Structure 1
Amino acid sequence: MTITQLKYVLAVAEHQNFTIASEHCFVTQPTLSMQIQKLEEALETKIFNRNKKPIQLTDVGKKIVEQAKIIVDESNRINDIVDQQKGYIGGDFKLGIIPTIMPTLLPIFLKSFIKKYPKINLKIEELTTEEIVKKLSDGHIDVAIAATPLENENIKERVLYYEPFIGFVPTEHRLSTLETLDVENLDIDDILLLEDGHCFKDNILNLCNAFGTKTQNFQLHSGSFNTLIKLSKEGLGMTLLPYLQTLDLNNEDKKFLKEFKVPAPAREVSIIYHKSHLKVHLIEALKNLIDGLIRGVIAFNDVKIISPIAQKKGV
């Protein structure tokens, strides 16, 4: 039994196809198939049911795959130990960031990070929280930045900052005369929201404790805060923005911003990674750099954290 054979098994288990798995492992399909067959012969058991389309794991194959993940992770940890001992900070490092954080946070740290750690090959993906959790579990990304808490026992969370919600209230809106907003002022029926799949939408729904059907006579599916701002200025409702999103607004649009009374509702933004702690020295380097930079941009402590986890109606 070899680590390579176990990696091939994991690839086939994920893609449910020998050809696709071989492409991801950068070997020929016959080579991959032969190595898996050798492993099955050594174990005297079948890992895959090849008669099913797509290919499926046998009952014992499912248990083998779970153990194979642990073994492969532990083998990768050896490389981490060696790199840390050498003081080497480099190599591939895959980072996922949710869409409502990437545009505002990435410009704050990216240039400094690649300058400070030129030997790191940083690969960044914009992913939803659901995609992030899956890719962390599958080992396809090393670390992510997302709104927390996620209440996932397999995910480690380390807080980077707390980001308050800011109201964007046009002149003709019923709340435009208020100096500061109160959560009790909000009505979910006149708040423009991002499309489903964005955890910031769930933040706001949880804040308003409302999962009822919206009563506007139009439906909006947008992943853009800029779109929400433009529609708000057209008199179609107010919207809520994360604090960092407001920093790049022009002076005219900033006139429509309204803060909440303290403790202000806020989202918790964390660096997250799988409990296996792979590439922990790279994760630590990323967190420390962001910590140092973000303090000069955002410093809110008296806040009330709103969960990004979608809640059931009536709960």
Structure 2
Amino acid sequence: MTITQLKYVLSVAEYHNFTIAAEHSFVTQPTLSMQIQKLEDELDAKIFNRSKKPIQLTEVGKRIVEQAKVIVDESNRILDIVHQQKGYVGGEFKLGIIPTVMPTLLPMFLNNFTKKYPKVKLIIEELTTEEIVRKLTDGHIDAAIAATPLENEAIKEKPLYYEPFIGLVPENHRLYSKKEITSDELEMDDILLLEDGHCFKDSVINLCRTHKADNKKGFQLESGSFDTLIKLSKEGLGMTLLPYLHTLDLSELDKKHLRAFTSPPPAREVSLIYHKSQLKMQLIKALNDTIDGVIRGAIAFSDVQIISPLQKN
């Protein structure tokens, strides 16, 4: 039995297809199939039911896969121990970032990080929170940046910053004359929202969920982009809420429509998250330190009310 054979088993278990598993393992399909067959012969047990389409695990195969994950993770930990001992910060690092954080935070730290850690191959993917949790669990990404808390026992969270919500209010709106606004003044049928899948939408709903939505405006619109919401709001179709960092690059004319919340303002907690069994902790620390170094100059808020991104029943 070899680590390589176990990795091939895990790949087939994930993709339910020998050909696709071989492609992701960077070997030919006959090589992968032969090695798995060798393992099955050695164990005198069938791991996969090849008569099923797609290929399915046998009952004993399910238990073998669970143990294989532990063995492969532990084998990877040996190299990680050596890297930590040497203080080496390098290699491939896969990072997921939610869409409402990516455009504002990434430009702030990416250049600094790549210059400081040139031996790191940073692979960045824009993912929803649901996709991030799944990929962290499956080991397809090493860490992620997302709104928290997620209340997932398998995932560790290191808060990076607290980002206040800011209101964008058109001139024809009842709140435009106010210098500051409160969450009690918000009405759900009056707010333009991001589409489903964006945790910022869920946070806004949680902030406003005590207020009934009657849809008085006669239409329902959800967008995947803050830019679209800003343009629609300026047309007088409703107010919207933005994360603080998204307001920094607005024009001076658009900034006249911004309204901060009274203290303590509602805010989202943005964290660096990773699986509890994660390796590459030296890389996670390097990323955390780099982001912390640049974000302190942009956000100086501490007295805030954290709004959870979790959907409430």
Give secondary structure in 1 for the equivalent of 2:75. Answer: helix
Query: Quick one: distance in 2 between partners of 1:233 and 1:284?
Result: 41
Residue 201 of structure 1: aligned partner: 201
Matched, 1:311 2:304: no
Which residue identity does 1:65 align to in structure 2?
Answer: V
Map Cα deviations across residues 204-226 of structure 1 (whole Å, 9 max, x no partner): 01111169776243342421101
Map Cα deviations across residues 261-307 of structure 1 (whole Å, 9 max, x no partner): 11110000000001112111000000011111111110111101111
Residue 106 of structure 2: aligned partner: 106
Residue 261 of structure 2: aligned partner: 260
Higher deviation after alignment, 39-48 or 267-276: 39-48
Residue 34 of structure 2: aligned partner: 34
Contact kept in structure 2, 1:164 and 1:265, CA below 8 Å: yes
Alignment TM-score, normalising by the size of structure 1 = 0.97
Residue 302 of structure 1: aligned partner: 303
Residue 97 of structure 1: aligned partner: 97
* Residue 24 to residue 210, structure 1, CA distance change in 2 (3 Å): farther
Query: Quick one: distance in 2 between partners of 1:150 and 1:63?
Result: 28
Higher deviation after alignment, 74-83 or 157-166: 74-83
Which residue identity does 1:145 align to in structure 2?
Answer: I
Residue 118 of structure 2: aligned partner: 118
Query: Quick one: distance in 2 between partners of 1:268 and 1:292?
Result: 17
Matched, 1:234 2:230: no
Query: Quick one: distance in 2 between partners of 1:95 and 1:289?
Result: 14
Query: Quick one: distance in 2 between partners of 1:250 and 1:126?
Result: 26
Which residue identity does 1:43 align to in structure 2?
Answer: L
Residue 174 of structure 2: aligned partner: 174
Give secondary structure in 2 for the equivalent of 1:31. Answer: helix
Task: Show structure 1 runs of 5+ residues with no match.
Answer: none
Which residue identity does 1:169 align to in structure 2?
Answer: V
* Residue 250 to residue 270, structure 1, CA distance change in 2 (3 Å): same
Contact kept in structure 2, 1:186 and 1:208, CA below 8 Å: yes
Question: Per-residue deviation at 1:311?
Answer: 1.4
Give secondary structure in 2 for the equivalent of 1:259. Answer: strand
Map Cα deviations across residues 78-113 of structure 1 (whole Å, 9 max, x no partner): 111111112211111111100000000001100000
Which residue identity does 2:159 align to in structure 1?
Answer: V
Query: Quick one: distance in 2 between partners of 1:221 and 1:3?
Result: 48
Give secondary structure in 2 for the equivalent of 1:193. Answer: strand
Map Cα deviations across residues 122-144 of structure 1 (whole Å, 9 max, x no partner): 11000000111111111111110
Task: Show structure 2 runs of 5+ residues with no match.
Answer: none
Contact kept in structure 2, 1:205 and 1:211, CA below 8 Å: no
Which residue identity does 2:256 align to in structure 1?
Answer: K
Give secondary structure in 1 for the equivalent of 2:164. Answer: strand
Give secondary structure in 2 for the equivalent of 1:79. Answer: helix
Give secondary structure in 2 for the equivalent of 1:125. Answer: strand
Question: Per-residue deviation at 1:176?
Answer: 0.8
Contact kept in structure 2, 1:129 and 1:146, CA below 8 Å: yes
Contact kept in structure 2, 1:188 and 1:210, CA below 8 Å: no
Contact kept in structure 1, 2:146 and 2:270, CA below 8 Å: yes
Query: Quick one: distance in 1 between partners of 2:135 and 2:205?
Result: 26
Which residue identity does 1:63 align to in structure 2?
Answer: R
Give secondary structure in 1 for the equivalent of 2:162. Answer: strand
Which residue identity does 1:131 align to in structure 2?
Answer: E
Higher deviation after alignment, 230-239 or 57-66: 57-66
Give secondary structure in 2 for the equivalent of 1:46. Answer: coil
Give secondary structure in 1 for the equivalent of 2:5. Answer: helix
Which residue identity does 2:278 align to in structure 1?
Answer: H
Residue 50 of structure 2: aligned partner: 50
Give secondary structure in 2 for the equivalent of 1:144. Answer: strand
Contact kept in structure 1, 2:192 and 2:222, CA below 8 Å: no
Query: Quick one: distance in 2 between partners of 1:265 and 1:201?
Result: 14
* Residue 238 to residue 90, structure 1, CA distance change in 2 (3 Å): same
Residue 244 of structure 1: aligned partner: 245
Query: Quick one: distance in 2 between partners of 1:218 and 1:33?
Result: 56
Q: What is the identity percentage for the equivalent residue pairs of Structure 1 and Structure 2?
A: 72
Contact kept in structure 1, 2:180 and 2:261, CA below 8 Å: yes
Residue 143 of structure 1: aligned partner: 143
Which residue identity does 1:185 align to in structure 2?
Answer: E
Which residue identity does 1:132 align to in structure 2?
Answer: I
Query: Quick one: distance in 1 between partners of 2:124 and 2:301?
Result: 27
